[in-house]
Chains A and B, each alone.
Chain A
Amino acid sequence: MNLQVVYCNYHTADLNVRERLAFPADRLGEAYSQLRANFPNTELVVLSTCNRVELYAAQENPSQAPTHQQLAQFLSEFHKVPINDFFNDLLEQTGPDVVRHLFQVAASVDSMVLGEPQIVAQVREAYRLATENQASGPVTNALFERALNVSKRVRTETSLAEGRVSIASVAVGDFGKSIFDRFDDKVVLILGAGQMAEEALRYLADEGAREILVANRNPDRAQNLAHDFGGRVVAWEQLDEWMAAADVIVSTTGADRPIVDVRRFRPIREVTGEKTVFILDLGAPRDFDPAIRDLDENVFLYSIDDLQEICDRNRKARQREVEKALAIIEQETDAFMAALSHRATGPIIKRLREQWEEVSITETKRLFDKLPHLDARDRAEIEKTIERMVNKLLHPPLEALRDEAREGTPHGLMDALRRLFGIRD
């Protein structure tokens, strides 16, 4: 059995390379058709996310397994990208390293954000699509199902996924959700239309935020962001009115000095009363004067520095869990490889046993025909003795095969057994 993965990820390739090699969901069916045509009898699974593009292959006959070059060629032809543009970024793993790699990916040990949960869903989806496109097979099915179980085990037995590690997730998950019970009845005001605002907005939208207002000096960018999240653009000139209406304010304007200071915010609080307001100042430098948080006890203002400190602490805590996760992965890899090799040696063991049993039955019958005076008890004793002899004679070769199988499929020994005992497939 030949297991293989050819891949590029955020460790090896720049985003522009990964983007060009990524498989959009609507083209995966076409990709699988071509893969099946190019590599018949090979099990294949494509895992394509924003951080990685990976092609997993399993082939019963090593001589028919696709080569690194062939899979790179496929990527080049499918995406119409010259092979030289990415070949050096493409890595290959085989055998147990493939299993270890997939387990690390699924357990989020190999993720850019250690322990992030999305990768499990992405692995599950990749496996589902491969099955749907009839590209996976018994080995890849077992491999991916095991990978999902390993991921679950790592999450259960370690704290790898605990504590949020991105600024936006800490802001919304640790603080926003501790302030508000729900977001679907809250007004969310976005100042600026930067990437950080978009990320925070994504988390807020996931929590149910519906009334989203975007204010930006450049109305076009505001329009795009508002459109993406079903919000609306409001005039920058009426900012104070909208700040009074908002329950959540996310600011990433990129201004070089605070745009809202105490003098500006105090009249707003006089209008709103002591309504709870959650302000996420994701601008660097800050958009809100830190003194605003002391205006009253219902103003909850968080700057990027406040959040970064928590992210760093959580990231360090996760890092401490990596060793535990890797130990689990190592154990699971060994178990999977042993099961896989036993699966490969299974048919030869079965055939050898059958062959020897056939011989023993034939010879016993011949003996009983020659000695008709033997009673049932004697016959049973002779049958038992012959069975024990067969088992004892078979034990050393089969044990050697099992031992070898622990290190991978023992092709050499299997060939030797076939030749020595005349086993025909």
Chain B
Amino acid sequence: MLSFLGRVEVFCFLASYLIVFGLELSRLLLGRSQVSRAVRVFFAVAGFIAHTAYLLARATETNLPPLLSSTRDWMLVLAWLLVLCYLALTLWKPDLAVGVFLLPLVLIVISTGYLVSSDVNPQLAPVAGFRRSLGMIHATFLVLGILGVVVGFVLAMMFLYQQRRLKQHQSLQEGFGLPNLEKLARLNRAAVMVAVPLLTLGFVTGVWLGLEGDERIRFSDPIVIGNGIVWLGMAAVFVRLLTTRKATGKHVASLTLWAGGFLLLTLIGLQILTGTELFNLETWHTTLPVEQDFKFASPAEPAHHQRVSGPHRQTDRTEIPRLSWLAGRGSSFIDLRPQR
């Protein structure tokens, strides 16, 4: 069973989510159907289990939490959290049509993950202790902040759809439930209010992380610049919401939609630009897939050679420390030095 779970591919859960999305769309035509709901939940749960197994397998393979291991894994964690939200809402309120709005974002995030590198981040991989913890905090705040933005984005879409329906006097399809405007506006505002402080903390810890250690962050790094612009945009929305008296639901929804859309576009765009060989943008955050020999070794066993698609671009570094993330736990480690 465990070996089977270890062979799960990204395509497995991507396909499951695609089916779930198709079934969600069918609610618009078919209305409420117990059979369709059961099939939807089955595929969503199956996809989620496969997704979880994949992330666990990756964590075992890289000896890193998926949030830190690679850009692809980081994006898959974001998608995993979104699916968790979807599943919880679907089981709690079966009529809620949240999947129609949320699942396309899940599919986009996972598909983008296909385009970016799955190699271990060379800047985080060889460090341990405080720097690793800081890296984890940075990645956690960022992923939760972005999750908040995505949730706000989804709520904003639902708000605008619901408002349009009400203005046009359209009856809601049975089994295609949406929360009322008042609740959507309140939740949307709350999502932004939670997301921006988390993004700020993520940004601050990122700068701190960049200043720690021997190799300092470059503020000309495209990811840093992109994230900085995004953060400024979200902070502007945050301040606007705090200072505008009686901001209407549509006002909040429009702001969230624009800011959230911009954030998602920028983040995904940056990951594609920096995570693929096509554009060759250099960044501290990620790596390009370069075929190179690396040595996998266990502390208890003599090192042996294994060919991995490995880091990284900064091959001019003379001394690359050995990776020992779980030092003291008797775990395996990766020797990042190119083999001659």
**In-complex Cβ contact of A297 among B31, B163, B172, B178 (8 A):** B163
Q: Which residues of A have CB within 8 Å of B248?
A: 274, 276, 297-298
Knowing A179-B181, A180-B180 touch, does A306 contact B169 (C-beta < 8 A)?
yes
B162/A178 in contact, CB under 8 A:
yes
Q: Which residues of B have CB within 8 Å of A159?
A: 31-32, 174
A-B contact count (CB 8 A): 57
**In-complex Cβ contact of A181 among B162, B166, B182 (8 A):** B182
Knowing A178-B181, A181-B180, A181-B182 touch, does A298 contact B171 (C-beta < 8 A)?
no
Q: Which residues of B have CB within 8 Å of A310?
A: 169, 171
B180/A179 in contact, CB under 8 A:
yes
**Complex: how many Å from CA A170 to CA B172?**
11
Contact with A along B156-197 (1 / 0, CB 8 A): 000000110111010110100011111100100000000000
**In-complex Cβ contact of A274 among B167, B169, B186, B246 (8 A):** B246
Q: Which residues of B have CB within 8 Å of A273?
A: 246
How far is the CB of A246 from the nearest CB of chain B, in Å? 16
Q: Which residues of B have CB within 8 Å of A174?
A: 171-172
* Least CB separation from B245: chain A residue: A273
Asked if A163 lies at the interface with its beta carbon under 8 angstroms from chain B, I say yes
Residues of chain B in range 234-256 having any CB-CB distance to chain A below 8 Å: 246, 248-250
Knowing A276-B182, A298-B248 touch, does A179 contact B166 (C-beta < 8 A)?
yes
Q: Which residues of A have CB within 8 Å of B183?
A: 181
Asked if A266 lies at the interface with its beta carbon under 8 angstroms from chain B, I say no
* Least CB separation from A163: chain B residue: B174
**Complex: how many Å from CA A300 to CA B168?**
9
Asked if A14 lies at the interface with its beta carbon under 8 angstroms from chain B, I say no
Q: Which residues of B have CB within 8 Å of A177?
A: 180
**In-complex Cβ contact of A180 among B32, B172, B182 (8 A):** B182
Asked if A356 lies at the interface with its beta carbon under 8 angstroms from chain B, I say no
**Complex: how many Å from CA A175 to CA B167?**
10
How many of chain A's residues touch chain B, expressed as a range? 20 to 34
**In-complex Cβ contact of B180 among A178, A274, A313 (8 A):** A178
How far is the CB of A188 from the nearest CB of chain B, in Å? 15
Asked if A203 lies at the interface with its beta carbon under 8 angstroms from chain B, I say no
B181/A276 in contact, CB under 8 A:
yes
Q: Which residues of A have CB within 8 Å of B186?
A: 181
**Complex: how many Å from CA A169 to CA B261?**
38
Asked if A124 lies at the interface with its beta carbon under 8 angstroms from chain B, I say no
**Complex: how many Å from CA A276 to CA B166?**
12
How far is the CB of A411 from the nearest CB of chain B, in Å? 45
**Complex: how many Å from CA A175 to CA B180?**
9
Q: Which residues of A have CB within 8 Å of B181?
A: 178-180, 276
Asked if A302 lies at the interface with its beta carbon under 8 angstroms from chain B, I say yes
Contact with A along B97-117 (1 / 0, CB 8 A): 000000000000000000000
* Least CB separation from A303: chain B residue: B169
Residues of chain B in range 1-57 having any CB-CB distance to chain A below 8 Å: 31-32
How far is the CB of B98 from the nearest CB of chain A, in Å? 16
**Complex: how many Å from CA A300 to CA B164?**
11
Q: Which residues of A have CB within 8 Å of B250?
A: 297-298
Contact with B along A290-331 (1 / 0, CB 8 A): 000100011010100010001001100000000000000000
**Complex: how many Å from CA A177 to CA B163?**
12
How far is the CB of A165 from the nearest CB of chain B, in Å? 11
Q: Which residues of B have CB within 8 Å of A274?
A: 246, 248
Q: Which residues of B have CB within 8 Å of A170?
A: 171
A178/B172 in contact, CB under 8 A:
yes
Nearest 10 Cβ contacts at the A-B interface: A181-B182, A306-B169, A181-B183, A310-B171, A274-B248, A178-B180, A180-B182, A181-B180, A162-B174, A179-B181
- Provide a sorted-by-A list of 24 A–B residue pairs whose CB atoms are within 8 angstroms: A159-B31, A159-B32, A162-B174, A163-B174, A174-B172, A175-B166, A175-B169, A178-B172, A178-B178, A179-B166, A179-B180, A179-B181, A179-B182, A180-B182, A273-B246, A274-B246, A275-B246, A293-B167, A297-B163, A302-B169, A306-B169, A310-B169, A310-B171, A313-B171
Binding site for B on A (CB under 8 A): 159, 162-163, 170, 174-175, 177-182, 273-276, 293, 297-298, 300, 302, 306, 310, 313-314
For the complex with contacts A297-B248, A300-B166, 18 further pairs of A-B residues with Cβ separation under 8 Å are A162-B32, A162-B174, A163-B171, A174-B172, A175-B166, A177-B180, A178-B162, A178-B172, A178-B181, A179-B180, A179-B181, A180-B182, A181-B179, A181-B186, A182-B182, A274-B248, A298-B248, A313-B171
Binding site for A on B (CB under 8 A): 31-32, 162-163, 165-167, 169, 171-172, 174, 178-183, 186, 246, 248-250
